Structure 1
Amino acid sequence: MTNLIIEEGADRVVWRLNRPEARNAIDREMVAALHEACAAVEEEPRVVLLTGEGPAFAAGADIAQLRERNRDDALRGINSKIFDRIHRLPMPTIALLDGYALGGGAELAYACDFRIGTPRTRIGNPETGLGILAAAGAAWRLAELVGEPLAKEILLAGRVLNADEAQTVRLLNEVVEPADLIAAGHRLADRVTAQAPLATRLMKAVFHAPRDAHPLVDDVAQAVLFETEEKHARMTAFLERRQGRNR
């Protein structure tokens, strides 16, 4: 799977999009590699850090392949299915964006739980300029992330946000220098993995549950956690620390 470099860790995994000669444009081979990578993380849940090799995160889908796709290809949802699968991974995902994150690259970033960029980050959806639309999540995820007025400006008028603009609207959680990008991702992953793993998994699932599933889904998830040894151990440790401070 040369289009995707995978670095395994005990509580996290780094995925590197690896088509630097094409600014990591997302082609069918990369989609297949991402599906295999998702299967491994679904089997053994870990935090995912997703980045790109070279001077771009992902400058979009592969236009040469996209030009030849037809109606049936669109209905297969080649990109939308893999981005939705990434969105639904059990543990949080962190997109690390240096350079361009455009089109399908932006939609891949939107599917992640967190996004960290650099001053070189440029993010947007120029699909309508190519005679198509952003059909792999941006049409509905982007409004949830940045609000309807700005989402329409990006999707309908081709606006591309720079790093400062994206951070101002919280599309980027943080902006760091390129040399610090991977380290910043690991710092955020450290904060995530310091939490109780099952609680984190269920919190993510409850967060993304449909509105009409609440509050039942919250109560059921909490019932599961109330019966775990980790809940008892963590609360006991908290109480002991507080008692120690009060002595």
Structure 2
Amino acid sequence: METLIVQERDDRVVVRLHRPQARNAVNAVMVAELHEVCAELEARPRPLLLTGGDGFFAAGADIAELAARGREQALQGINSTLFERVRRLPMPTVAAVDGYALGGGAELAYACDLRVGSDRVRFGNPEPGLGIIAGAGACWRLTELVGEPLAKLVLLAGHVIHGPEALSSRLVASLHAPADLDGAAHALIDRMGAMSATALRLTKLVLDAPPGAHPVADHLAQAVLFEDPDKQARMRKFLDRRAT
């Protein structure tokens, strides 16, 4: 691929954003290539690890392309459609964020289920300074992640969330030295890998279900799992361990 480095494994897919000359700014080619990755993960569900460069995850959307877009392109939701697809992937997604995640780059990280950061991580949404809104999810997703007061500070006043604040607000699950970041992200996916893949997939579906779907969605997911041979094997193993 032109803008991504993709490593497929049996138990995960690792995608590194790779436009170093543009600090990984999200352009149309990257959007198309990330759609290809999503299609593969929808066809063969596995966890996704999404990472960037040394000192920058993604420094926004490509401003030259944004400057050329008009009303029709805005209504197409070019970036927001992709980021929502990432959000809806069947298995968990983890963003490993080193340094700057700004604008569309931040919105891509927000779309992942979990984020781990380096101690130099920076999240920001400076879009109003360019005469636009953070229109690919930040205006509602960031509020869900960190709460309204902090989200408004970022979106209305240009506040940048640095590492300690990202950790205290739980925007990131943990902070690490840059050299240790990828290892920490892989360790998080390793923990998921020890769990039932079907249970993880259904848990994500239930978590993302609208409020009106509960508790029916919970009951249906549990009914599927209660008949799963993997559930029987895991519970039998647990009981056998406790009996010894």
Q: Structure 1 length as normaliser, TM-score? A: 0.98
Q: Does 1:86 align with 2:86?
A: yes
Report deviation, 1:55: 2.6
Alignment partners' CA distance in 2, 1:160 and 1:154: 6
2:39 is matched with 39
Report deviation, 1:9: 0.7
Q: Report the AA paired with residue 200 of structure 2.
A: T
CA-based RMSD: 0.6
2:140 is matched with 140
Alignment partners' CA distance in 2, 1:78 and 1:54: 27
2:183 is matched with 183
SS in 2 for 1:10: coil
CA contact (8 A) 1:23 1:54 kept: no
Residues 113-192 of structure 1: pairs in structure 2 closer than 5 A: 113-192=113-192
Alignment partners' CA distance in 2, 1:131 and 1:121: 25
Alignment partners' CA distance in 1, 2:213 and 2:179: 43
Q: Report the AA paired with residue 126 of structure 1.
A: P
Q: Report the AA paired with residue 216 of structure 1.
A: V
Alignment partners' CA distance in 1, 2:99 and 2:21: 14
2:221 is matched with 221
Q: Report the AA paired with residue 116 of structure 2.
A: I
2:96 is matched with 96
Q: Report the AA paired with residue 84 of structure 2.
A: D
SS in 1 for 2:51: strand
Report deviation, 1:191: 0.4
CA contact (8 A) 2:58 2:100 kept: yes
> Which stretches of structure 1, 4 residues or longer, exceed 4 Å deviation after superposition?
none
CA contact (8 A) 1:93 1:113 kept: yes
Alignment partners' CA distance in 2, 1:156 and 1:55: 25
Alignment partners' CA distance in 1, 2:53 and 2:36: 19
Runs (5+) with no aligned partner, structure 1: none
Alignment partners' CA distance in 2, 1:54 and 1:97: 10
Aligned length: 244
- Residue deviations 1:26-60, cap 9 Å, x none? 00000000000000011111110000134310000
SS in 2 for 1:172: coil
Report deviation, 1:234: 0.3
SS in 1 for 2:187: helix
SS in 1 for 2:155: helix
Alignment partners' CA distance in 1, 2:139 and 2:53: 27
Residues 20-59 of structure 1: pairs in structure 2 closer than 5 A: 20-59=20-59
Q: Report the AA paired with residue 211 of structure 1.
A: P
Q: Does 1:210 align with 2:202?
A: no
Runs (5+) with no aligned partner, structure 2: none
- Residue deviations 1:68-122, cap 9 Å, x none? 1000000000000000000000100000001110000110010001101111111
CA contact (8 A) 1:60 1:106 kept: yes
Q: Report the AA paired with residue 58 of structure 1.
A: A
Q: Report the AA paired with residue 213 of structure 2.
A: A
